[in-house]
Each structure stands twice: as structure tokens, then as C-alpha cells.
Chains A and B, each alone.
Chain A
Amino acid sequence: MTTKVQPQLALQTPASNRAPLAFGWISSVLIAFPMLQLTGLLLLGGPEALKSFTRLRLDATLTVWLGLNGVFLAMLRSGRTNAYRRVLFVLIALSFVLTFIPNLLETRDHVAFTAGDMADCRIPFCHMVIPMVLIPAAFTKTIIFPGSLLTGFASIGSMVVLWLAGSLTLGRGWCSWVCFFGGMDEGCSHLLNRPVIKTVDRRWTYLPLAVLLMIMLVSAATLSPTYCEWLCPFKSVTEFESVTSTRVFIQTVLFASLFIGLVVVLPIVTRKRVQCALFCLMGAFQGWTNMLNIHEIRMNRDACTDCGRCVTQCPTFSLTSESVAAGGALTSCTKCGHCVDACPRNAVSFHVKGTKLFASPRLARVLFLYPAFLFLAAIGGGMMVGALLRIIRLVTTGSLI
């Protein structure tokens, strides 16, 4: 039960084979124009919000806004999704780190949080906590996280609302278009041209479900966010508890090891998103939202030649030969578009559930791209602006803070 991880093959298809998903210049501009306005509204806000912008912030925001829309236009014009999405996704992950840590240093002077920070309930809430808080919230109407419900950066209320909206509109597309951690292992997975470990046992794809089950149950029993305390690899690049006891020391060693192993080393050597596909409990949780979501990936069995390229190239092990034979992807599909771009026969496409299969693949793709890109721009765009400002500050003053 293994999946061979094959070297990235050059797409040996004539340009005309990509025509079914690409738009002409006029159509691309017309379709992209509303995105220009919508992202402008999200990033720049209204006239009132603009008044509070400094000249530097305005320039940075305009730069990011134009860059994002340029990429969207390129997506429409070329018919390719993943190549452009991946670049933005990795940039957003880097931007997140570049903004989050300096923000922490500016607001509380230290990256490691203390018992006092927890007592003050000022810990930013990230979406990975959501599976853990559901059972205790249902039984006790309390949120087992030392954060703020409505105020401050990444309040619990706002993150839950964003997650609900993202799950409804994107399903597990959250993992490839919104999650600001996912770009880290995706970026690492493309550092080498060829994988060192070519075979990954598919039994590992069941580990995230086991992690999800155990973490949800243990968190409910202990009324504490167990994944955050023990297993979250991304504490290495965000914030972590000050090492003041043996238990915290063990936790620190554990999360640092998980980050190095799952986010850096294994993605590099396998060219797969190992953390996202083989460990992340949020990813396992989001898999269920794919059942509700209106968008999906489908294979045209008439055009498909079972070459297996989509199966080998899927970064999250969401395609098997059985699922391809059945004409679709597994519920773990993150809708990154890699298979759509990789298929030499254009047999893989986005599809809107309930509509006629393969009748309008371009329309189905645009209907998915719009909310996905809006989410990416709204959340990631802000981070990119912040990162740009930090970089400018670093260059001009020698310090990020």
C-alpha cells in the first residue's frame, strides 16, 4: 500500500492542450476586474480606513494589491492554478512569520508566553485549536483556550467565523488557500527537484484521524488544548510556553522535533506536504467539510488514460488509482489544483456538485477560484503588507521591530 513519489516530470503537452481552461486576454481582464475591486475593498477598506494609512503603508498595500491581482489574471490567462497558488501560499507563510514574531516582541516584549500571558487571556487563537474546543464548548459553554473572545489580534470569535465561512465555501480547500502554516511545508516540499524518499506508505494517511480522535477526547477530558500543549509543530515559528518545568521542556523538545521532521526534512525528501497530509488534525477535521462543500475535483473517465500522473503528483495523497477510476478525489483533497495542472489530457477539472459533469470546467474553476482567492487575498494579503513594511523597516533602520 505505497505510493511511489516520482520525480517532477516536465509537462510535455502542447500549449493548445491547456486551452480548455485558459481564457483569452479580454475575457481574463473582464473576469479579473471584479476581483480587483473586491480585493481593493478588503485590503484598502473604505475612504475612512484610508485616512488612517501612512504613505508607506498605502504604498505597500497598493503593491500587494496589484501583485495579487496580477497573479489572479495570470491564473485566468494561463489556465494554470497550482503554480501561481503555491508561490502566493509560500509567500504568505513567510509573511506570517515575519509579522507575527515582531508583533509579539512589540506588544509584550517576549516570544515565549508566560503563565501571566495565559492568565491575562491574550494568546492569539489559531484555527488549529478549533477541533479541540468543540466538545468542551458543547458540554460546558466555555472555550478551553487562554485567548480573547472578541478583542485583540486573532480573537476567538473572529477566527471561528472565518473558519465557518472558509469551510462552507472552500471545504478542505482551506488547507491550500487559507492556512498560513501550510505554505511552510509546501515551500519545503519544492526545495529539491527530485524526491530522496520515493515511496511513502499510504497507511500513514490514517494517522491524522487517530491524532484528531485522541486529541479531541483528551482535550475534552483535561479541558485543555492538548494539541497546542504537546504536538503543534508551528510553535517553533510562533509562540511557545517559557521552559520552567520538566513537562514544558519535554513539550518544547517534542514540538521542535515535529517541526524539523514534519515541516522541514520530510517534505524536502519526499516532495510531499507531510505535515498537512500525514499529521495535521485540522486537515483531518476539514476533510469532513469537503462533503458539505459545493466544489470538488473530478476526472473525466473518457479522456483519462490512467497514466497515474495525478496520483503520484498529488501533494496530500488525496488521489488513488481507485478514486481516479471512480472519477474523483478522496475527502482529503485540498483543491490545490496540482492534479488539474498536471494532467496531460485535461481530464481533471474543478466541478460544481449538482451540475453536469465536464460541461463547463472553466466556469466551475472560476467559481471556485473567486472565493478561494478572496480568502487568500484577505488573510494573506494583510500579512504580506505587514511583511513588506517589516522588510522596509529592516533595510532602513537595521531592525524588524
Chain B
Amino acid sequence: MHGIETLTQGLLLGLSSGITCLATCAPVIVPLFLGSASSTRGNARLLLEFLGGRLGGYLLFALAAWITGRLVLGSGALGARATGMVALGLGALMLAYGILKVSGIQLPLPAAAQSHSGCAVSSLRTRTWFRECPRLIPAGLGLFSGLNICPPFVVALAQGAVNHSLAGSLLFFACFFAGTSVFFIPVPFIGSFRRQKALVYVGSFSAILVGLCYLYSGLMQCLLPVTEP
């Protein structure tokens, strides 16, 4: 992926999954914002720190994804087929994720893996760190909320991995961050998160549609002949 395509795809993946990200993390993040500052300027500063931490987390993962991609996938025809297989797997993952979310079915996971919202922020260890170092809260929240291993994030990881250049991977994740962040911007200012359930369902259906797109793309990449540039 190059330049504008990277930007577009990253931004659009972020936008399409941002609702899901927000719906997953908001139940933890919104009360923390509400409890931290009282003025709009204070909230804006908190939000910037939060988003800064989140961006930092994403860029770290962009680096990790790219290194993994170079080591595992390689290039050429085999790389193209592998990319197709990855797309198929991701499509199935997004599809399953969306179906589980919209149906409300809970997987029988161990209690430690089940959190209130699936957001990394809510783990006991994370909360302990924040209690000991409250100054870290906004940026740290951002960093850890970005570590939410939800299927949209996994899809972004995979896209970053198949990128040929490190700059492309970083750009992709920066754009993915921008896309998801659009939905976080109003959070500190609206006081309460109304219609959260509606957004969860819209996000879940979006995940299903994204999954179907990836399934089709992966199928075509696996079945159609690879043309060398």
C-alpha cells in the first residue's frame, strides 16, 4: 500500500470500526472523564492527553506489526496468497465478532478475560497503576484503550503487517487512529453517553459488513492468479 491508498484505507477502517471501539471503551472512559475535570478547557486538555497516549500506543503497534509482517509473510506470489489467507481469517473474525456483539451472546471465557467492557483499561492491574500514579491517567488511559484487542484492531494490525514499508505501516495506524478518534471527540463534552446501545448495534452490523468485505477480498486474492508487477 502506498501514500493515499494507505491514508484512505486506514482512515476508513478507523471510521468504520470507531463506533465499535467507542462502544467498547466508553463505559470505562466516560466516567473517568466525568470525574477528572469540570471545565470545558480542562476536558479538552484531558482529551488531548488521552488521544496522545492512544496515538503513541497505535504507533508502537504499527512498528510491531510491520516487523512481524516482514518476518512472517515475505513477498511475491507466496506473500500475496498469504495476504489473502490473512484476509479470509480476518473476515471470519470480524464476521463472528459482529454476530456475537449484535446477538449479545457471551463466549464462555475465564473470568479474568471477561471484563466489564472488553477494554484493557478496566483490568485490575491497570486500575492499580493508575491509583498509584494518577498523573498518568489521561495519557495512560489513551495508551491502554488503544491496546484493546478487538477484531477491528486485529484487522488494522494485519493491514499494518502486510505493508511493505515501515512508513506505510506507521501512516496506516496514524490514519486508523484518526478514524477511531473522531468518535471519541464528543465524549468528554456530552456528559452522558446516550444511545450507546444503538451505536453498539450499528457498530456490530458494520463489523459484519467489514468482515464480509474482507472475506470476499481474501477469497479473490487466494483464488485469482497473482500478477507480478
Direct A–B contact in complex, judged by CB atoms less than 8 Å apart: yes
B123 close to A (CB within 8 Å): no
- Pair B202/A213 contact, Cβ less than 8 Å: yes
- Pair A220/B209 contact, Cβ less than 8 Å: no
A218 close to B (CB within 8 Å): yes
Report, as a range, how many residues of chain A touch the other chain: 10 to 19
- Pair B201/A206 contact, Cβ less than 8 Å: yes
Residues in A neighbouring B206, C-beta threshold 8 A? 210, 213-214
The one of A203, A211, A221, A247 in contact with B209, judged by C-beta atoms closer than 8 angstroms, is: A211
- Ranked nearest first, the 4 interchain pairs of A and B with the lowest CB-CB distance are A210-B205, A206-B201, A210-B206, A214-B209
Q: Give Cα distance in the complex from A196 to B12, angstroms.
A: 40
Most buried by B among A210, A220, A221: A210
A237 close to B (CB within 8 Å): no
B59 close to A (CB within 8 Å): no
Q: Report B's interface with A, CB cutoff 8 A.
A: 8-9, 12, 15-16, 19, 102, 198, 201-206, 208-210, 213, 216, 220
A200 close to B (CB within 8 Å): no
B85 to chain A, nearest CB (A): 19
A265 close to B (CB within 8 Å): no
Bits for A214-236, please: 1 = Cβ < 8 Å to B, else 0: 10011011000000000000000
- Pair A218/B202 contact, Cβ less than 8 Å: no
Q: Report A's interface with B, CB cutoff 8 A.
A: 203, 206-207, 209-211, 213-214, 217-218, 220-221, 247, 250
- Pair B201/A217 contact, Cβ less than 8 Å: no
Residues in B neighbouring A217, C-beta threshold 8 A? 12, 15-16
Q: Give Cα distance in the complex from A210 to B213, angstroms.
A: 14
The one of A203, A206, A220, A247 in contact with B12, judged by C-beta atoms closer than 8 angstroms, is: A220
Q: Give Cα distance in the complex from A210 to B205, angstroms.
A: 6
Residues in B neighbouring A220, C-beta threshold 8 A? 8, 12
User: Given A210-B203, A213-B16, A221-B8, 15 more contacts at CB 8 Å?
Assistant: A203-B201, A206-B201, A206-B202, A210-B202, A210-B205, A213-B15, A213-B19, A213-B202, A213-B206, A214-B206, A214-B213, A217-B16, A218-B12, A221-B12, A247-B220
